[in-house]
Structure 1
Amino acid sequence: MGSLIGHVVPGFAFLLLGLWHLFNHIKLHSLHPKSYKSTTWFPSPKIKYLELFFIMLGSSISIAMELVIGPRKHHPFDSDGTIPSNHLHNFEHATISLTFFTYAAFTILLDRNCCKSQHALAHFLGAIAFTEEFLLFHLHSTDHMGLEGHYHFLLQLIILVSLTTTILGICLPKSFMVSFVRSASIFFQGVWLIMIGLMLWNPKYIPKGCFLHYEEGHQVVRCHKEEALHRAKSLVNIEFSWVLVGITIFLVFLYVVLEKHYGEQVEYGKVSGKDEYSDD
């Protein structure tokens, strides 16, 4: 992270996962409302663990980009083996990716061994991943007070929703709304990460009175005056609110369309079954 690509790429990954979960949860609940049960992942038609492989691959690429591949990251350690201060944020981001890799890998292991509590344990592993993500962003070594810090403060609120609903999924496995809100928050994480990348590392979107400044190994946004910083943060609050409203409209529209489509399939199946019975 700490760059346009570093936010947009993982943002698209979260966005795709959120959409995949929203689609499958709505479909599953529409087809089987009485037997619906929450799950943290969904098998794919041809490759069962495609979603989990996707998380593992994305996490591996993220770790490599943070510590090995990216510019000025070929030597993440100092000559004495310690971590330099300008690389702390790289290790923090890599640790978040490592936690999601661990979640995906052990979820596959639990499923392959047909463990009795695999669904609850998968929720537990997911909660650990979101906890790690929340704590490392909350205790981030980079700026907490500037515009970047404000963007990441709002991101923490979204992560907190993902964490809370994942924990609730252990206690309320049959609650569609818990799964729906969790999937929506994952989707929201993706959208907001993309917004952070576009708004913070694209010079034409930098708020008036602020500028991009290179320090401690990466570019950050600084403002000339306190008044400019307050204005910039207020603009971010408005931006966040507009994105939230837009996502809410999209989610309701998606639910109505999918529920109608799969609900009609259920009704058609019931009618077809009744007609076949009466013909006999």
Structure 2
Amino acid sequence: MGGTPRSSIGHILPGAGFFAVGLWHLFSHVRLFSLRPDSYVAPVWFPVTGARYLEPALVIAGSAVELVMEMFVDHSTFLPFEADGSIPSDRLHNHEHAIICLALIVYAGAAVHLDRARAPGRRALCLLLVSVVFAQELLVFHFHSTTHAGVEGQFHWILQVVVAACLGTTLLGIGFPRSFAVSLARSACIMFHGVWLAVIGAMVWVPSMAPKGCSLVREDGRDTVRCRDKASLHRARALVNLQFGWYLSFMTIFVLAIYLYVCNKYPAEQAYARLVHKAAGDEEEQDHLELEAHKCSVHDIGGDMHVRGLLPLEIEV
């Protein structure tokens, strides 16, 4: 059995995307918090100097490619619907995966539009849109048209736990915008989401990775792992749980290493205030101090925090 390259790649590539976004957020949140811990407010996404909307643009592009792959590629027909407009039974799971991609496109597109419009409360609204993405994904995998049983079912059950953690930390971010712990946990959860998707793609659809006593078989028009007896199935499920523990421990160590590295590389900026005794009429020195205070001040405009004098990476979006 050669396996299904599309099924494997269809999990590994989105997994790489989630991991990259989570890593970028982890680095950026730690850097922002390390530089200014007292004025930290967590952005939803991070602009890049010279390409402000690079992150949402990549999310839109990656989601659009995956949507096209799900709907039109690697099928006997390129049409995702029957002649009468109905959805073929063997294509239901593709449509379910596609609506997750659509939710990501809606979020990223709305994030760009809200930022360009300088809409008040856009940070909370963007987080709500992100929570819609994870809620959509959680419901899709919980009520999946494909019956996930055996080893594959164990992988997907744990995936639901990871997605629920992403959803929970995203909702917490709305109520606690200044909590670095929430931002750190959300970034780590998104990273682990990507890792676990890649693990599913490798362990379920690569024949050589099947657990001992199990093999890749074709059922109902799709490939899946089946074990020859209950003992083999019990062992395979236990191995899935062990993998989760191993990867979770490795991820924890990795997050701590990134945290320590970034904090060491970007130490907190020290604010110094000079007490100057000025004679009457020393307006030049007074103007200088007022200008410095203005640069370092924090303003609340329309419910969104804006920090003057920061690099583009640190501006709340």
Question: TM-score category by the smaller chain?
Answer: over 0.9
Letter paired with 2:35? L
The residue aligned with 2:161 is 157
Pick aligned residue for 2:144 from 140, 144, 148: 140
Q: Percent identity?
A: 43
- Any conservation in 2 of the 1:66–1:73 contact (CA below 8 Å)? no
Q: How far off its partner does 1:145 sit?
A: 2.2
Deviation at 1:148, TM superposition (A): 1.0
In the alignment, what sits opposite 1:244? 248
Contact 1:22/1:184 (<8 A) preserved: yes
Shift of 1:81: 1.8
User: Is the CA contact 1:2–1:219 (under 8 Å) kept in the aligned structure 2?
Assistant: no
In the alignment, is residue 215 of structure 1 matched against residue 219 of structure 2? yes
Partner SS, residue 22 of structure 1? helix
1:87 aligns to what?
A: 91
Q: Give deviations 1:120-141, integer Å, cap 9, x for gaps.
A: 1011111111100111011111
- Answer 1 or 2: which has greater helix percent: 1
Following superposition of structure 1 onto structure 2, how do residues 1-280 of structure 1 map, counting pairs within 5 Å? Answer: 3-72=7-76, 74-263=78-267, 266-267=269-270
Please state how far the C-alpha of 1:79 moved relative to its aligned partner. Answer: 2.8
* Aligned equivalents of 2:77, 2:178: Cα separation in 1: 45
- Give a deviation string over 1:256-275, Cα, whole Å, max 9, x none: 111121116x25xx5xx689
Q: Which runs of 5+ in 2 are unaligned?
A: 277-284, 286-317
Instruction: Kindly indicate whether the alpha-carbon contact (under 8 Å) linking 1:30 and 1:262 is maintained by their aligned counterparts in 2.
Output: yes
Between structure 1 and structure 2, the one with the greater Rg is 2
Q: Which runs of 5+ in 1 are unaligned?
A: none
Segments ≥4 residues shifted beyond 2 Å: 69-73, 215-218
Aligned residues of 2:10 and 2:201 also touching (Cα < 8 A)? yes
Q: Show CA shifts across 1:85-129 (max 9, x none).
A: 111110000000000110001111111110110001011111111
Change in CA separation of 1:113 and 1:139 when aligned onto 2, cut-off 3 Å = same
**Mean CA deviation greater in 3-12 or 219-228:** 219-228
Q: Which amino acid in structure 2 is aligned with residue 91 of structure 1?
A: H
Aligned residues between the structures: 272
Check the 8 A contact 1:38/1:175 in 2, yes or no. yes
Inter-partner Cα distance in structure 1 for 2:210 and 2:232 = 11
Letter in 2 for 1:36: Y
